[in-house]
């Protein structure tokens, strides 16, 4: 399938937020996306000109953190999450990053498998890190050495 990964722009936010609201239990607000674009790095993945996924990363000195990654429900399971992660790993290497971190909900088994396949290793558990509909949920902390 033909796809393009490019830098996220303000004009992408309606499509990005639509995906975010459809797939995240506690989605980011519009303002959070806008503010992040001023300070962080983000990419969108397009198929046939339509945004089907995105990734947001913060790089500080020699460490990076993936803060948000989502793929539209009807495009999940097709390798797009992995493509976005590989894009960030490539960027991180160019920026001389030594480690990439991320947190994921303990209940998000699909994402955990994706991160493990992409070279991330479980490092820690953060108790009650995420808000959830039933209260709080633990986060699994993953790390990838570059």
- Separation CA 45–CA 5 (nearest Å): 4
Burial of 135 (0-12, 13-18, 19+ CB in 10 A): exposed
Handedness of CA 113, 118, 119, 123 (dihedral sign): negative
- Separation CA 146–CA 79 (nearest Å): 21
Catalytic residue (choose from 103, 129, 137, 143): 103
Instruction: Output the CA torsion 123→126→132→135 (10° steps).
Output: 150
Catalytic residue (choose from 115, 129, 130, 137): 115
**Closest C-alpha to 60, from 106, 22, 99, 25:** 99
> Does 130 participate in catalysis according to the annotation?
no
> Does 129 participate in catalysis according to the annotation?
no
Residues labelled as active-site residues = 103, 115
């Amino acid at each position: 399938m033909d796809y393009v990964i490019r830098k996220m722009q303000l004009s992408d936010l309606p499509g990005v937020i639509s995906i975010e609201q459809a797939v995240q239990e506690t989605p980011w607000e519009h303002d959070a996306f806008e503010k992040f674009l001023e300070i962080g790095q983000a990419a969108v993945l397009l198929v046939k000109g339509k945004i089907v996924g995105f990734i947001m990363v913060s790089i500080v000195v020699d460490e990076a953190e993936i803060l948000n990654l989502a793929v539209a429900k009807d495009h999940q399971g097709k390798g797009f999450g992995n493509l976005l992660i590989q894009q960030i790993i490539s960027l991180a290497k160019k920026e001389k990053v030594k480690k990439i971190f991320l947190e994921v909900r303990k209940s998000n088994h699909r994402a955990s498998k994706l991160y493990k396949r992409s070279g991330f290793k479980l490092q820690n558990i953060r108790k009650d890190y995420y808000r959830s509909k039933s209260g709080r949920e633990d986060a699994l902390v993953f790390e990838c050495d570059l």
